[in-house]
């Protein structure tokens, strides 16, 4: 079961005709795309377009009805546990345990991903320095401001050095300055070769991605660099591109 | 008469977990142990005119929900006064509850009741009927009426939002309180929602609305920017923008991440933040021209450099104000 699937060396996510149906409802409808190593890939769509369902399949949490997917060299249908080990995940809602201290959260997640104690300790020291968190190390996460928490949650999600990190609306409700600092952390991770797969409702953040896909009613309606998409849709911002595409939606559900 | 009047309002719940301040106002001014200093000077004050859309804009944890709960008579402030429609939030709380509509941040309708049952329930609680005020909710309710036999728990996010708004309106409130109605909602649905608010305003309803999305500020008549329990500024969006200090330029090149570092290292730069496909640089030096900056950047090896003067957005203003 541990056999890696041959994936082109610079491709980290492959989706091929990926489809998920719930009864008569097709949440994700035959989507295909590839994400390159180290790429920041924006995964956009209106509420109910199928983003979360697609993301759950890529994380090994939901089995596709049909189609194939390979993430970090593992099949998302038959090797879900290996997929989970190779990725990181962070969302706005679930990130860290409020009742645990900063270092305890790091130790917990590092341990879950099978890191050695010594490695956890060394990397924790390093991380506290980089984030300038040394004074917060022994504080409970619940006592930290939201912006702090989100930066820490992101760092924890890539602590085990996954090949891909999935970020589900990581900056919702965060103040404007922290939101930008957060994106600097994303750039840094990407420059170290971690692939970033991110959803957001902030259209200015779509501009920070190398490539962006836009889902409408379960399908990928557009996929390119922000610059090319703006040219293609004759738009001056990603917000305009999004508004043009999402208005085509006929789906009433969310 | 003002729709909402708030004077020196202060509320502090020390978080039991952290011991940190949470609430609105400034504890350093309000909780002075010196018996001779006036208590309550650290509270917040503002007024909302009748028929206005007033936005409370700021990040999570800034105190938006605390303010809403005090004004809708759900919690008590530690000090200060507030009135809604001329009624005091403490003394006349029953009167206020009859007159306001409140849509909390979390979906709080009955999941097991159908769309129609929910609306009917709220109408009955307020001693009215759907028919009596149908005109007011018609535009919004018609969009979900095809699903009126569906349980509220089974609705999509967008439909839940429309049902919640209908329920908050069904007794024809004079003041509507909307706590983060668009959080987590995609940009298209957000635009639609603001379109609905505009129509309600045209029918004479006063709206106090909170949001973490700075781009929604321009849709309000007046806004208060809030952070850490305090207002950074209260004014019309236009006035706030015109009060932006420093020149603001949008800069682009082929290597945007390096450009951010290079711009921050420049001595004329007060601060520099990424804004979509451009960086916004505020310039603290009267003598430097856009041409100068372009040359400096090109000398650092950047290609296809463009520098343009721009009007600040509310987000630019928020960042400038929050940095003092």
Tell me the pLDDT of chain A (254 aa) as tens digits.
567 776 677 999 999 999 999 999 999 999 999 999 999 999 999 888 999 899 999 999 999 999 999 999 999 999 999 999 999 999 877 679 999 999 999 999 999 999 999 999 999 999 999 898 889 999 999 888 888 888 999 999 999 999 999 999 998 888 899 999 999 899 999 989 999 999 998 999 999 999 999 999 999 999 999 999 999 999 999 999 999 998 888 775 44
Is A173 within the bounds of a domain?
yes
Indicate yes or no: CB of B191 within 8 angstroms of CB of A243. Answer: yes
Task: Give the alpha-carbon dihedral of A235, A236, A238, A244, to 10 degrees.
Answer: -30
Indicate yes or no: CB of B186 within 8 angstroms of CB of A47. Answer: yes
Closest Cβ opposite residue B159 in set A99, A208, A254? A254
Between chain A and chain B, how many beta carbons pairs sit less than 8 Å apart? 108
Indicate yes or no: CB of B59 within 8 angstroms of CB of A242. Answer: no
C-alpha–C-alpha distance, residues B211 and B105, integer Å: 10
* pLDDT score at A254: 44
- B35 pLDDT exceeds 70? no
Mean pLDDT in chain B? 91
C-alpha–C-alpha distance, residues B10 and A99, integer Å: 28
Indicate yes or no: CB of A246 within 8 angstroms of CB of B187. Answer: yes
Please report the ipTM that was assigned to this predicted complex.
0.82
Q: Quickly list DSSP for B116-158.
A: HHHHHHHHHHTT--TTTTHHHHHHHHTTTGGGTTSBGGGS-HH
Is A114 within the bounds of a domain?
yes
In A, minimum Cα distance to B277 occurs at: A207
Indicate yes or no: CB of B156 within 8 angstroms of CB of A169. Answer: no
User: Per this entry, what is the length of chain A?
Assistant: 254
Indicate yes or no: CB of A177 within 8 angstroms of CB of B186. Answer: no
Query: Which one of A48, A221, A228, A254 would you mutate to disrupt binding with B, by most B Cβ within 10 Å of its Cβ?
Result: A254
Indicate yes or no: CB of B158 within 8 angstroms of CB of A48. Answer: yes
Indicate yes or no: CB of A201 within 8 angstroms of CB of B156. Answer: no
- Give which of A58, A50, A88 is closest to A76, Cα–Cα: A58
pLDDT, tens digit (0-9, with 9 covering 90-100), for B118-170? 999 999 999 999 999 999 999 899 989 999 999 999 887 778 889 999 999 99
Provide the sign of the torsion angle of the four alpha carbons A166, A172, A176, A177, taken in this order.
Answer: negative
**Mean per-residue pLDDT for B171-193?**
91
Token look-up 């996510």 returns A13
- Whether residue B105 lies within 8 A of chain A, CB to CB, comes out as no
Indicate yes or no: CB of B212 within 8 angstroms of CB of A246. Answer: no
Q: Is B97 left (phi over 0), alpha (psi -120 to 50) or beta?
A: alpha
- B17 pLDDT exceeds 80? no
- B68 pLDDT exceeds 90? yes
Indicate yes or no: CB of B273 within 8 angstroms of CB of A207. Answer: no
Domain B244-322 in CATH 3.30.70.100? The answer is yes
Closest Cβ opposite residue B17 in set A140, A146, A177? A140
Contact A197, A15 (CB under 8 A): no
Q: How far apart are the first and last CA of chain B?
A: 34
Is A193 within the bounds of a domain?
yes
> B52 CA to chain A: closest CA distance, Å?
25
Note the pTM of the prediction, 2 decimals: 0.88
Report the 10 Å Cβ neighbour count for B145. Answer: 13
- For residue B57, list chain A residues with Cβ-Cβ distance below 8 A: none
Is A105 within the bounds of a domain?
yes
- For residue B188, list chain A residues with Cβ-Cβ distance below 8 A: 46, 242-243, 246-247, 249
Tell me the CA distances in angstroms from B89 to B11, B83, B100, B209, one per residue in order.
14, 5, 12, 18
- Note down the domain range covering A211: 39-52+86-246
Number of domains comprising chain A = 1
* pLDDT score at A4: 75
- B41 pLDDT exceeds 70? no
CATH code, domain with A109: 3.40.50.300
> A116 CA to chain B: closest CA distance, Å?
30
B56 contacts: CB under 8 Å, gap ≥ 6: B64, B67, B208, B209, B210, B211, B223, B224, B226
Closest Cβ opposite residue A47 in set B189, B275, B277? B189
What is B4-238's CATH number? Answer: 3.40.50.300
Is A11 within the bounds of a domain?
no
- Whether residue B318 lies within 8 A of chain A, CB to CB, comes out as yes
If you ran DSSP here, which 8-state letter would residue B279 be given? Answer: E
Token pair, residue A234, equals 């004759």
Is A75 within the bounds of a domain?
no
Mean pLDDT in chain A? 92
- For residue B276, list chain A residues with Cβ-Cβ distance below 8 A: 203-204, 206-208, 237-238
Indicate yes or no: CB of B187 within 8 angstroms of CB of A45. Answer: no
- Give which of B25, B29, B30, B1 is closest to B11, Cα–Cα: B25
* Start-end of CATH 3.30.70.100 domains in chain B: 244-322
Q: Is B107 left (phi over 0), alpha (psi -120 to 50) or beta?
A: beta
Token look-up 């200060």 returns B80
Is A108 within the bounds of a domain?
yes
> B153 CA to chain A: closest CA distance, Å?
12
Indicate yes or no: CB of A172 within 8 angstroms of CB of B183. Answer: yes
Is A162 within the bounds of a domain?
yes
* pLDDT score at B19: 57
Token pair, residue B118, equals 């929910």
> A173 CA to chain B: closest CA distance, Å?
5
- B196 pLDDT exceeds 80? yes
**Mean per-residue pLDDT for B250-270?**
93
* pLDDT score at A77: 96
């Amino acid at each position: 079961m541990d056999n890696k699937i041959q994936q082109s060396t610079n491709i980290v996510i492959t989706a091929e005709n990926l489809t998920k149906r719930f009864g008569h409802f097709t949440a994700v409808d035959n989507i295909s795309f590839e994400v390159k190593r180290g790429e920041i890939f924006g995964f956009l769509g209106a509420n109910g377009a199928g983003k979360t369902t697609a993301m759950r399949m890529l994380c090994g949490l939901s089995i596709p009805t049909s189609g194939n997917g390979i993430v970090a060299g593992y099949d998302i249908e038959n090797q879900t546990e290996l997929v989970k080990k190779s990725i990181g995940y962070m969302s706005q809602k679930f990130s860290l345990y409020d009742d645990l201290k900063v270092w305890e959260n790091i130790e917990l997640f590092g341990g879950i991903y099978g890191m050695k104690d010594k490695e956890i300790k060394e990397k924790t020291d390093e991380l506290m320095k980089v984030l300038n968190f040394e004074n917060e190390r022994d504080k409970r996460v619940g006592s930290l401001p939201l912006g702090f928490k989100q930066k820490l949650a992101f760092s924890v999600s890539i602590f085990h050095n996954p090949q891909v990190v999935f970020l589900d609306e990581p900056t919702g409700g965060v103040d404007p300055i922290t939101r930008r600092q957060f994106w600097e952390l994303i750039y840094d991770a990407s420059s170290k070769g971690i692939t970033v797969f991110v959803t957001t409702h902030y259209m200015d953040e779509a501009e920070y991605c190398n490539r962006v896909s836009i889902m409408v009613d379960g399908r990928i309606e557009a996929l390119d660099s922000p610059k090319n998409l703006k040219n293609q849709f004759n738009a001056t911002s990603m917000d305009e591109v999004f508004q043009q595409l999402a208005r085509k939606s006929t789906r009433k559900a969310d | 008469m003002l729709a909402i009047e708030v004077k020196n309002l202060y509320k502090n719940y020390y978080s039991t977990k952290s011991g940190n301040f949470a609430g609105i106002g400034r504890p350093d001014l309000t909780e002075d142990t010196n018996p001779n200093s006036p208590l309550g000077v650290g509270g917040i004050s503002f007024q909302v005119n009748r028929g206005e859309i007033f936005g409370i804009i700021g990040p999570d944890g800034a105190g938006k929900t605390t303010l809403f709960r005090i004004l809708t008579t759900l919690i008590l402030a530690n000090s200060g006064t507030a009135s809604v429609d001329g009624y005091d939030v403490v003394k006349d709380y029953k009167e206020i509850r009859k007159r306001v509509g409140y849509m909390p941040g979390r979906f709080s309708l009955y999941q097991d009741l159908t769309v129609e049952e929910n609306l009917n329930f709220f109408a009955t609680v307020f001693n009215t009927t759907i028919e009596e005020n149908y005109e007011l909710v018609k535009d919004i309710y018609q969009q979900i009426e095809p699903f009126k036999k569906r349980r509220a728990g089974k609705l999509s996010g967008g439909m839940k939002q429309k049902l919640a708004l209908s329920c908050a309106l069904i007794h024809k409130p004079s003041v509507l309180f909307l706590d983060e109605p668009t959080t987590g909602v995609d940009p298209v649905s957000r635009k639609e929602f603001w379109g609905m608010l505009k129509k309600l305003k045209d029918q004479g309803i006063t709206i106090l609305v909170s949001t973490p999305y700075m781009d929604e500020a321009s849709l309000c008549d007046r806004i208060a920017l809030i952070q850490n329990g305090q207002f950074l500024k209260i004014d019309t969006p236009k006035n706030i923008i015109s009060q932006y200090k420093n020149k603001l330029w949008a800069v682009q090149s082929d290597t945007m991440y390096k450009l951010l570092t290079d711009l921050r290292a420049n001595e004329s730069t007060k601060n520099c933040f990424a804004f979509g496909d451009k960086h916004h640089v505020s310039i603290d030096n009267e003598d430097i021209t856009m041409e100068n900056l372009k040359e400096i950047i090109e000398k650092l090896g950047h290609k296809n450099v463009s520098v343009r003067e721009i009007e600040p957005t509310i987000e630019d203003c928020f960042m400038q104000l929050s940095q003092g």
